[in-house]
């Protein structure tokens, strides 16, 4: 089965924000890594287009919901292309394709006897599209996430018997690998231990949604509809639009990567819906943290929302990826600070990695006729041991979704190699002819370690990784897989080194 990884399906009330770019970049790096390891990957992303929030946004703009959705969905697609996101499927929940799968899914749940008509009363947050737990304790009746007033709802809705799946969900979340990080898992365990309540899966008075068969005044609750998007995405552009076909293509998902605010939907409601529909539950859910800006929550009312497009235009893809992947531990909250951003890019990428490549390549070209040294002592294993260890740790961390740690392995390898260079001072040694052999060894070791650094950067910083490879002029045996290329010593001795140029520009403080 392919490795199936998903981002959330983003609401189209607005263009992509830094939070959506963050999740999508993480998924992209994992998808690239798995592909490089030789796995078949299905990387799903898309948009969540129904519901009251979208209906109201379109109304405010005085356009039809469908037209609004078309324009924002196109913007998402355009943005992901600009960010070079390697997604395989982009699902739109207002497509006919998706609607058909939602109806099939509903029929399965209904046939399990899990749907009934009831009355839904409660306080609703339109921003979250969610009834809020405990409004009595909230002095303001405001959603803590959106800081907007909750709305009282009292309507006839169809309900899903979530309570029936109490035991199933308990045993699912007992597995420590199912929800990460640990703290988030504990929150879910606590929530489930209070007893699961049935939840409504349809709305009356909401026109912008998928119609429920047999109930002409009802549309599906936007979350019921959207979660099924992970399944409907699988058969996108295929003639056989059935759940069975979708499932055989690549279900269950190996990883739903989402923000911590929507963990309940993914770790509790969705698995129960799937069990009811007779389908497998996802293997893992990671709830990542929230990004703040200069220590403050980002929000329109605060006027401090950081537009990812500005970052993209100003700095390019790789610097932003490096900051988000290396500086924030997946699962923890992260803060975007301009000064830190500039410092990290300059220190890590320009000074440590870029400079290492540049100066070594220059030395090698100068002393060895524009080539990689030819006579190398393969028994000198000091550097190869360091590099092999870094590769091993990197793979272990990437396999376990510790992307920040994997990134740091690459950086630390570069730091260690720079130290080795400084300690050995080939620029001094070369002055004495007797040292010629030693210098060849040192330079080869450094170039070879740089080749490995370039390879390890591929899922993290695809563009920079390519530049490194180009500058090393390495013609790899195309039969070799990425993993095999990570083996020490494959840099061809005596091969031509192209003229070096900086692989990354230093950034200035704005």
Instruction: Find out whether the peptide bond into 252 is cis, omega within 30 degrees of 0.
Output: yes
Return the number of the residue (324 or 391) whose C-beta is nearest ligand MSP.
324
The reply on whether position 22 binds ligand MSP by CB under 6 A is yes
Q: Rounded CA gap, 113 and 134, in Å?
A: 29
Nearest to 266 by CA among 281, 276, 247: 281
Sheet holding 211-212, edge to edge: 202-203, 215-220, 211-212
| Contact with ligand MSP (CB under 6 A) among 3, 5, 10, 203 | 10
The reply on whether position 286 binds ligand MSP by CB under 6 A is no
The reply on whether position 259 binds ligand MSP by CB under 6 A is yes
Closest-by-Cβ residue to ligand MSP is 259
Contacts of 2 (CB under 8 A, 6+ apart): 39, 40, 41, 42, 249, 250
Q: Rounded CA gap, 346 and 472, in Å?
A: 21
CA distances from 74 to 51, 92, 128, 236, 362 (A): 19, 10, 23, 17, 45
- Per-position b or e across 383-404, b if 16+ CB within 10 A of its CB: bbebbeebbebbbebbeebbbb
The reply on whether position 94 binds ligand MSP by CB under 6 A is no
Q: Rounded CA gap, 173 and 244, in Å?
A: 26
501, two tokens = 């140029």
The stretch near ligand MSP (CB under 6 A) out of 56-64, 171-179, 259-267, 461-469 is 259-267
462-472 vs 317-326: helix crossing angle, rounded to 10: 110
Return the number of the residue (333 or 484) whose C-beta is nearest ligand MSP.
333
The stretch near ligand MSP (CB under 6 A) out of 254-262, 319-327, 341-349, 445-453 is 254-262
The reply on whether position 274 binds ligand MSP by CB under 6 A is no
**Minimum gap (Å) between residue 448 Cβ and ligand MSP:** 38
| Contact with ligand MSP (CB under 6 A) among 91, 125, 227, 274 | 227
The stretch near ligand MSP (CB under 6 A) out of 18-26, 187-195, 341-349, 456-464 is 18-26
Return the number of the residue (223 or 368) whose C-beta is nearest ligand MSP.
223
Q: Rounded CA gap, 379 and 136, in Å?
A: 72
Return the number of the residue (34 or 288) whose C-beta is nearest ligand MSP.
288
Sign of CA dihedral 179, 184, 186, 192: negative
**Minimum gap (Å) between residue 262 Cβ and ligand MSP:** 5
The reply on whether position 285 binds ligand MSP by CB under 6 A is no
Helices (H), 221-354: 222-227, 229-232, 243-250, 263-264, 270-276, 308-315, 317-326, 338-344
The stretch near ligand MSP (CB under 6 A) out of 239-247, 258-266, 404-412, 448-456 is 258-266
| Contact with ligand MSP (CB under 6 A) among 65, 98, 180, 229 | 229
The reply on whether position 311 binds ligand MSP by CB under 6 A is no
The reply on whether position 19 binds ligand MSP by CB under 6 A is yes
30-49 residues near ligand MSP, rule: CB under 6 A: 48
**Minimum gap (Å) between residue 297 Cβ and ligand MSP:** 7
The reply on whether position 220 binds ligand MSP by CB under 6 A is no
Q: Which residues lie near ligand MSP (CB under 6 A)?
A: 8-11, 19-20, 22-23, 48, 226-227, 229, 258-259, 261-262, 290-291, 298
């Amino acid at each position: 089965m392919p490795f199936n990884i998903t981002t959330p399906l983003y609401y189209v009330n607005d263009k992509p924000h830094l939070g959506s770019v963050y999740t999508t970049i993480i998924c992209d790096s994992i998808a690239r890594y798995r592909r490089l390891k030789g796995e078949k990957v299905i990387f799903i992303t898309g948009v969540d287009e129904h519901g009251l929030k979208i209906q109201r946004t379109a109304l405010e703009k005085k356009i039809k919901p469908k037209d609004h959705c078309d324009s924002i969905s196109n913007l998402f697609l355009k943005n992901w292309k600009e960010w070079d996101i390697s997604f395989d499927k982009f699902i739109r929940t207002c497509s006919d394709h998706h609607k058909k799968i939602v109806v099939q899914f509903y029929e399965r749940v209904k046939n399990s006897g899990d749907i009934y008509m009831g009355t839904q009363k409660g306080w609703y947050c339109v921003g979250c599209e969610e009834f809020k737990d405990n409004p009595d304790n909230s002095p303001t009746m405001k959603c803590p996430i959106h800081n907007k007033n909750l709305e009282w709802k009292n309507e006839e809705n169809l309900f899903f018997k979530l309570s029936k799946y109490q035991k199933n969900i308990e045993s699912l979340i007992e597995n420590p690998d199912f929800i990460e990080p640990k703290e988030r898992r504990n929150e879910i365990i606590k929530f489930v231990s209070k007893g699961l309540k049935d939840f409504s899966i349809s709305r009356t008075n909401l026109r912008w949604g998928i119609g429920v068969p047999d109930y002409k005044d009802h549309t599906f609750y936007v979350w019921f509809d959207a979660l099924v998007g992970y399944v409907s995405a699988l058969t996108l552009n295929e003639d056989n639009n059935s759940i069975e076909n979708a499932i055989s293509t690549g279900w269950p998902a190996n990883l739903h990567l989402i923000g911590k605010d929507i963990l309940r939907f993914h770790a509790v409601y969705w698995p129960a819906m799937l069990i009811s529909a007779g389908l497998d539950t996802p293997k893992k859910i990671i709830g990542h943290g929230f990004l703040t800006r200069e220590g403050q929550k980002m929000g329109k009312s605060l006027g401090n929302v950081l537009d990812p497009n500005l970052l993209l235009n100003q700095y390019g893809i790789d610097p932003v990826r490096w900051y988000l992947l290396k500086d924030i531990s997946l699962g923890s909250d992260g803060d975007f600070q301009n000064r830190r951003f500039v410092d990290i890019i300059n220190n890590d990428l320009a000074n440590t990695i870029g400079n290492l490549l540049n100066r070594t390549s220059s030395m090698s070209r100068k002393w060895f006729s524009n080539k990689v040294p030819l006579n190398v002592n393969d028994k000198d294993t000091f550097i190869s041991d360091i590099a092999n260890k870094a590769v091993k740790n990197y793979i272990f961390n990437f396999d376990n979704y510790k992307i920040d740690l994997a990134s740091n392995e690459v950086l630390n390898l570069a730091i260690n190699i720079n130290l080795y260079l400084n300690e050995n001072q080939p620029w001094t040694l070369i002055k004495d002819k007797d040292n010629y052999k030693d210098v060849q060894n040192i330079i080869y070791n450094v170039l070879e370690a740089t080749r490995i650094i370039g390879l390890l950067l591929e899922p993290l910083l695809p563009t920079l990784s390519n530049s490194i490879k180009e500058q090393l002029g390495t013609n790899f045996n195309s039969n070799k897989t990425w993993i095999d290329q990570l083996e020490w010593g494959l840099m061809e001795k005596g091969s031509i080194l192209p003229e070096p140029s900086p692989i990354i520009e230093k950034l200035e403080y704005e």
